[in-house]
């Protein structure tokens, strides 16, 4: 049975099934999951193309509504639905980058390369950050010394910045302010600007010479499109571009955030970290209704995806239903209560092995044992 999201006990983490395993048992556990998930990596080409073209048809339909001469409430609704449909297409792009969806298709590769540029996530930059994320998911890397100020994700990490309670307590006021900005819910709401524009494109343009042409092309295409529409069709800019971008990026970035920032997630040191155990148990399962599962292309089955990223999105539910080890994840949802619980987690408490809020940190920082450890 899946475990509903809940607050972790005050002095201990939520238990993982792997906690009692020794090194040899963990190795066997990893081998078993890889072996059991392998059959589900087989792609059904007809099914993949069907999902691809249906997604494009839905995007075309909502785009037509957003640019049409309908009353503005209907255009606004079309823009919102267009944003949700773009989230689905982005997950298909994500799966293609993993080699799980339309692998080897030249047409798909060309299409998704253009799509990545339009969404300011060029394939080479997306692959760099996302592959790192999968290879080091929930591995605690510390304060990101030497990186750009902690305003958003960095392209090498592919995740939100995270400080431990000890590091945060040692930090000066300026570093704390930058960190609070980085973890603020507005960073998720404005995910398109903070992550895709700033972290993926601008930072790469200034710091990574080999990626500069792609970052520059992505920025140029988007700035040019916005400028053209602002001058010639402000209504289309609003309903067909700005509204979908806001809705799509807010939902997509939040889902990425909450799937590794939830009560029960652990961020372990490289010495403690185990790829499979962390992939399965520090990745949540987001329970949604069938409509939202369609718009998000099953990315809510995130623990299954991290167990084996070569599984096409449409086979993730099938894999979870068939493999016992994948049937007990911690469950999140889009219920406001669960969203608040996930957004409220700000710091990693290594002593208690759980994420805590700023309020919890303030309550714990005067703990004599912690003060002695920091002395």
Question: Which residue ranges make up each domain of the chain?
Answer: 3-374
pLDDT at 125: 84
Per-residue confidence at 190, pLDDT binned at 50, 70, 90? confident
Longest Cα–Cα distance of the chain, Å, equals: 68
In contact, 113 and 93? CB cutoff 8 Å: no
Q: Quote the pTM value.
A: 0.90
Please give the helix or strand (H or E) that residue 257 lies within, else none. Answer: helix 243-258
Residue showing tokens 């304060």: 143
Phi, psi angle pair for 216, to nearest 5°: -65, -40
Q: Is 268 helix (H, G, I), strand (E, B) or coil?
A: strand
* Residue that has been written with the tokens 């096409």 in this structure: 312
> pLDDT value at position 17?
86
- Please, are residues 66 and 229 in contact by the beta-carbon 8 Å criterion? no
Q: What is the pLDDT of residue 130?
A: 86
- pLDDT at position 1 is 46
- Residue 141, classified by CB atoms within 10 Å of its CB into exposed (0-12), middle (13-18) or buried (19+), is middle
Contact indicator for 204, 215 with CB cutoff of 8 Å: yes
Query: What's the average model confidence in pLDDT over 142-163?
Result: 58
Query: Looking at residues 349-353, what average pLDDT do you find?
Result: 90
What mean pLDDT comes out for the span 153-168? 72
Tokens of 11: 């002095």
Whether the per-residue pLDDT at 150 is higher than 50: the answer is no
């Amino acid at each position: 049975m899946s475990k509903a999201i809940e607050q972790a006990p005050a002095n201990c983490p939520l238990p993982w099934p792997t906690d009692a395993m020794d090194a040899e048992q963990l190795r066997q556990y990893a081998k078993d999951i890889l072996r059991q998930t392998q059959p589900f990596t087989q792609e059904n080409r007809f099914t993949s193309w069907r999902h691809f073209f249906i997604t494009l048809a839905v995007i075309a339909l909502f785009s037509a509504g957003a640019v049409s001469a309908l009353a503005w409430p209907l255009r606004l609704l079309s823009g919102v639905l267009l944003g949700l449909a773009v989230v689905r297409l982005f997950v298909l792009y994500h799966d293609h980058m993993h080699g799980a969806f339309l692998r080897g298709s030249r047409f798909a590769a060309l299409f998704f390369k253009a799509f990545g540029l339009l969404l300011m996530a060029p394939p080479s930059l997306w692959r760099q950050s996302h592959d790192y994320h999968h290879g080091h998911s929930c591995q605690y890397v510390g304060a990101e010394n030497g990186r750009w100020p902690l305003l958003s994700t960095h392209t090498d990490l592919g995740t939100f910045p995270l400080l431990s309670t000890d590091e945060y307590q040692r930090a000066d006021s300026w570093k704390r302010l930058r960190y609070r900005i980085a973890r603020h819910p507005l960073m998720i709401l404005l995910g398109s600007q903070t992550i895709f524009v700033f972290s993926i494109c601008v930072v790469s343009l200034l710091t990574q010479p080999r990626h500069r042409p792609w970052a520059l092309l992505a920025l140029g295409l988007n700035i040019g499109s916005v400028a053209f529409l602002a001058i010639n069709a402000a209504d289309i800019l609003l309903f067909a571009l700005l509204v979908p971008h806001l809705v799509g990026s807010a939902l997509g970035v939040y889902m990425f955030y909450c799937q590794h920032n939830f009560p029960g997630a652990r961020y372990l040191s490289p010495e403690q970290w185990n790829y499979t155990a962390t992939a399965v148990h520090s990745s949540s399962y987001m329970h949604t209704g069938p409509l939202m599962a369609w718009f998000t292309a099953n990315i809510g089955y995130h623990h299954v995806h991290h167990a084996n990223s070569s599984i096409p999105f449409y086979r993730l539910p099938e894999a979870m239903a068939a493999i016992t080890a994948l049937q007990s994840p911690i469950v999140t949802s889009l219920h406001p209560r669960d969203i608040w619980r996930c957004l409220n987690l700000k710091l990693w408490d290594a002593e208690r092995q759980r994420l805590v809020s700023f309020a919890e940190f303030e309550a714990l920082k005067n703990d004599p044992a912690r003060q002695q450890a920091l002395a």
